[in-house]
Amino acid sequence: MKKKYRCFALFSGGLDSMLSVLHMKNLGYDVLPIFFKTPFFGSENAIKAAEEIGYNLIIHDITDKHIKMLQNPRYGYGKYMNPCIDCHGLMFREAAELMKEYKVDFFISGEVLGQRPMSQRKDALNSVGKLSNIKDLIVRPLSQKLLADTLPIREEWVDKEEMLDIQGRSRKRQMDMANDLGIKSFQTPAGGCLLTDESFSLRLKDLIEHNMLELNFIEFLKIGRHFRLNDDVKVIIGRKDKENEMISHLAKNELILKTDNIPGPLGVINSKRNPSKEEISLAASILLRYNNKAQNRAEVIFGKKFQLTNKVEVPKIDTDILMEMKI
């Protein structure tokens, strides 16, 4: 009896990853979709997408390694702060480390030749392979007919004739396949990765430039208005109730600021050191600027979570000065 080969499928939750899983499943392979979680790409949508095609997703957190890679990706960034080649390389490398545990024979991904400007050119797919250390074990079912043979093809675990030859930016063939395979709902390509978002990327770049790329500071990038006071200190102001709740939730040792007895937004200071009195006053005057109910001068209370026991009276900051600090 022919051996049933098992493969990991790098699974983002996008349509291409769903199609590559189903294509291999229908050819009789044992496919294990795996998702690599980072602070920039949550797993919720991928879990739903896997469910849509009848799979439970394996979720593997690569946050620490991803943050390290992000500071200096070998192949640089895409349009924004997305280091897609290094990111894919890291995912394959991590998958390789789990290979024995899950008894997989090879790896697949939904990459389509020429679909994305940065990560899916032929040379980029080669670079991903090189970074991964398992270049010769990767099969890309949607485009493999157009790519160099890898070990699973040479050894005839995978029949090249059964692989596809999709390339380019048109989504027509994928849409037809989705239809044929009965996939009813799916995400837009690359949807969900914050590293492809322009304003998030600006804030992230600022963190990297100021040597503040730490997990908690990254989480704060997802909410609020951001202002840099100096090289060491920034302040974030909530824009709506949900963001104020998130500030309370995320703050650990950070100082929280709030107007005294006047409803309004919360602010939080991000810094690796204790902020000075002057820096706290400046942050307070920024906070006050975003409180419509407050007079031009008011008291702001501050302290660590649940201990806003300190007080400072400040004027609202001048708009011109404020705009210079906006990230």
Q: Which of 202, 200, 289 is nearest to 237 (CA)?
A: 289
Interacting residue with ligand SF4 among 17, 20, 43, 82 (CB under 6 A): 82
β-strands 256-259, 233-237 pairing: unpaired
Is 128 a binding residue for ligand SF4 by CB under 6 A? The answer is no
Q: Which of 288, 313, 304, 300 is nearest to 256 (CA)?
A: 304
Evaluate whether 22 touches 53 at the Cβ level (below 8 Å): yes
Token pair 């031009």 in the structure block, residue: 296
Total binding residues toward ligand SF4, as defined by CB under 6 A: 11
Q: Which segments of the chain does DSSP mark as H helices, in order?
A: 15-26, 44-52, 63-71, 84-97, 99-102, 122-132, 151-154, 172-181, 198-209, 215-220, 241-250, 277-289, 319-325
> Where in 197-256 is the site for ligand SF4 (CB under 6 A)?
none
Interacting residue with ligand SF4 among 196, 270, 271, 285 (CB under 6 A): 196
Closest CB to ligand SF4 among residues 88, 140: 88
Q: How far is CA 47 from the centre of its chain?
A: 15
Is 69 a binding residue for ligand SF4 by CB under 6 A? The answer is no
Q: Would you call 131 exposed, middle or buried from its count of C-beta atoms within 10 A (0-12, 13-18, 19+)? A: buried
Is 120 a binding residue for ligand SF4 by CB under 6 A? The answer is no
Is 258 a binding residue for ligand SF4 by CB under 6 A? The answer is no
Is 125 a binding residue for ligand SF4 by CB under 6 A? The answer is no
Closest contact distance (angstroms) between CB of 174 and ligand SF4 is 17
Interacting residue with ligand SF4 among 10, 18, 22, 84 (CB under 6 A): 84
Closest CB to ligand SF4 among residues 43, 119: 119
Is 15 a binding residue for ligand SF4 by CB under 6 A? The answer is no
Distance between CA atoms of residues 265 and 4, nearest Å? 58
Distance between CA atoms of residues 50 and 63, nearest Å? 21
> Where in 132-191 is the site for ligand SF4 (CB under 6 A)?
190
Interacting residue with ligand SF4 among 87, 128, 147, 158 (CB under 6 A): 87
Closest CB to ligand SF4 among residues 17, 271: 17
Interacting residue with ligand SF4 among 88, 234, 289, 316 (CB under 6 A): 88
Backbone φ and ψ of 75, nearest 5°: -100, 15
Interacting residue with ligand SF4 among 69, 112, 138, 193 (CB under 6 A): 193
Is 62 a binding residue for ligand SF4 by CB under 6 A? The answer is no
Residues forming contacts to ligand SF4 in the complex (CB under 6 A) are: 41, 82-84, 87-88, 119, 190, 193, 195-196
